[in-house]
Amino acid sequence: MKLWGGRFTKETNQLVHNFNASISFDQKFYVQDIRGSIAHVTMLAKQGILNDEEKNKIIDGLNGIRDDIESGSLVIDSTYEDIHSFVEAHLISRIGEIGKKLHTGRSRNDQVALDMKLYTRDEITILDELLRELLFELFSLMKEHTETYMPGFTHLQKAQPITLSHHMSAYFEMFRRDRDRLSDIFNRMNTCPLGAGALAGTTYPLDRDYTASLLSFTEPTRNSMDSVSDRDYLIELLSALSTIMMHLSRFSEEIIIWNTNEYRFVEIDDAYSTGSSIMPQKKNPDIAELVRGKTGRVYGALMSLLTTMKGLPLAYNKDMQEDKELTFDAIDTVKGCLSLFTGMIRTMKFNRDTMKSSAVLGFTNATDAADYLVNHGVAFRDAHGIIGHLVLTCIEKNCSIEDLSLTELQAISPVFKEDIYDAISLKTCVEKRNTIGGPGVDAMNDVIMASGKYLENYPSLS
């Protein structure tokens, strides 16, 4: 069954049908299609366009179709052009002529716009919960590791000492922003296109506000042409998903580096690692690598939809059918990556002693040594040069700054006193950085408290 064809005298060429059909992928939102149809006929009955008997028969028929699809007794097949024609055809076969009244006052254009919005809104809710779970894992690490010292990096070079808590907090902020972006998109897209018709509304006395309320939208859309041709919310979502994947990829890259034999900062659990078919000693961080790799796949969906939309005149064009597979794949990819990544970091072990040793041997306290000289009257530029010479001495001796004796330190600068060793200890270096956003325990405890309140009070999108 097609939802059109009265003015055609020939059957559609099979290749054309296959090329044009969308049921292979839009069957994904059969639940949303049926939900939208139930809301539509409920509104039609309220407005007197259908009577209560017709409404009840149609709703019972739609519920039966949904239940049969879910039980497996009704299989969605490719002989239909799309999910809309599949549902309507089966409705008519079950309840007869009354089923033909389902489509009164709507077009397939506003129907598909509604289904895609309902589906996307549902998926954003799931994505939000997955991000929340990841944030809780990061929050747990933040609380546990306020005194786990490690090197902070710039240019992948050891720079200054921080804590693992501070490092995890940086990713907490990234994924918190990701969650806020999803919330923004959810709220901005939460308008109902049903009732826009093909592009110019309808002559039936529809109550679009009522339909919107039945489907938990904040309001109906305000322009019928924009209603059926708007894909901004999908572009926004794909952009947000790309940013999530970028953050996951950055994190994955660090885990891959930290997992190397040269770093040994972390040990990934066996359940989230794989081996080699030829090298029995190997334990590969494949989950982190695949997350990093799948980032390009999500970027591709964003660029593809932007390219599809850039030349389209108002209102609906068939090109827009290309939005679905791209979006479905990107959403599924990000959901899978978030779930696996959260499980990986939940089971990952951190080698505290190795991380601390790396910070010590990497001269991450060099800046603090320079600050020590400045606090004892040396100009910063001179202090910078003295510490640079000091680091060269340590490299030649293959030792850390604190391994040098006071005599060796004073040979480079007589300003050094016994208190230099306390001034450049990792604990002191970190603890002195207690302004908001710094790695000091007090500063981190304030951030942890604020982050905990955020997780407790952030409103659910559902």
Among all residues, which ones are annotated catalytic? Answer: 155, 276
Q: What is the DSSP letter of 155?
A: T
| Bridge partners (DSSP) listed for residue 366 | none
In Å, how far from its chain's centre is CA 233?
15
Residues in CB range of 383: below 8 A, 6 or more apart: 370, 371, 373, 374
- Using alpha carbons, list the distances in angstroms from residue 402 to 3, 377, 461: 80, 21, 52
Helix (H, G, I), strand (E, B) or coil at 149: strand
CA 27, 33, 35: angle at the middle one, nearest 5? 135
Radius of gyration in angstroms for the set of CA atoms belonging to the chain, rounded to a whole number: 30
- Rounded CA separation 25/325 (Å): 7
Q: Give the Cβ contact number of residue 368 at 10 Å.
A: 22
Helix (H, G, I), strand (E, B) or coil at 231: coil
Q: What are phi and psi of 151, to 5 degrees?
A: -80, 140
Q: Which amino acid is at 372?
A: Y
Q: Which two tokens mark 197?
A: 């018709």
- Rounded CA separation 434/444 (Å): 8
In Å, how far from its chain's centre is CA 186?
13
- Rounded CA separation 236/109 (Å): 21
Helix (H, G, I), strand (E, B) or coil at 163: strand
- Rounded CA separation 379/383 (Å): 6
Residue 52 burial (C-beta neighbours within 10 Å; 0-12, 13-18, 19+):
exposed
Asked whether the beta carbons of 451 and 138 are under 8 A apart, the reply is no
- Rounded CA separation 152/138 (Å): 18
Instruction: Kindly tell me the sign of the dihedral angle through the C-alpha atoms of 80, 81, 82, 87.
Output: negative
Instruction: Kindly tell me the sign of the dihedral angle through the C-alpha atoms of 179, 184, 185, 187.
Output: positive
